[in-house]
Amino acid sequence: MDRVALRGLKARGHHGVFPREREEGQTFIVDLTLGLDTRPAAADDDLAKTVHYGIVAEEVVAVVEGEPVDLIETLAERIARACLKHDGVQQVEVCVHKPDAPISVPFDDVTVTITRSRV
């Protein structure tokens, strides 16, 4: 399976279990790897035969900016479902970063990574 990757999509969301997270919001970063067969698109040099990653990026940002959820696991699942709606995308790996998570000790990042497929 071929892969199309998007790294570092940034959007402000209001996800989290604490009132401050819901009120103030924070930046979330999303990395995606879409699994699909790119051969038809490459053979015909035709965007319509592959995934339009610009549209996927816009949809992912809309999910992050959309309805708040408590868990980044839930957010990752919603993002995966949005990606799998695209024809040709057979599998997606979603990594959601929450670099400003409310943790009381020094840290660099918190991530949740999921893999989902049509089958």
Instruction: For 75-92, write each residue's pLDDT tens digit.
Output: 999 999 999 999 999 999
- Rounded percentage of the chain residues whose pLDDT exceeds 90: 98
> Domain tally for the chain?
1
From the centroid of its chain, how far is CA 19? 24
Instruction: Respond yes or no: is residue 98 known to be catalytic.
Output: yes
- Per-residue model confidence (pLDDT) at position 102: 95
The CATH number that applies at residue 84 is 3.30.1130.10
Residue with tokens 């339009």: 52
Check pLDDT > 80 for residue 43: yes
Strand, coil or helix: 69: coil
Question: 26-36 and 2-13: which strand pairing?
Answer: antiparallel
Q: Is 90 exceeded by the pLDDT of residue 119?
A: no
Whether the model clears a pTM of 0.85, i.e. scores above it, the answer is yes
* Res. 63 pLDDT band, cuts 50 70 90: very high
- The domain containing residue 6 runs over which residues? 2-117
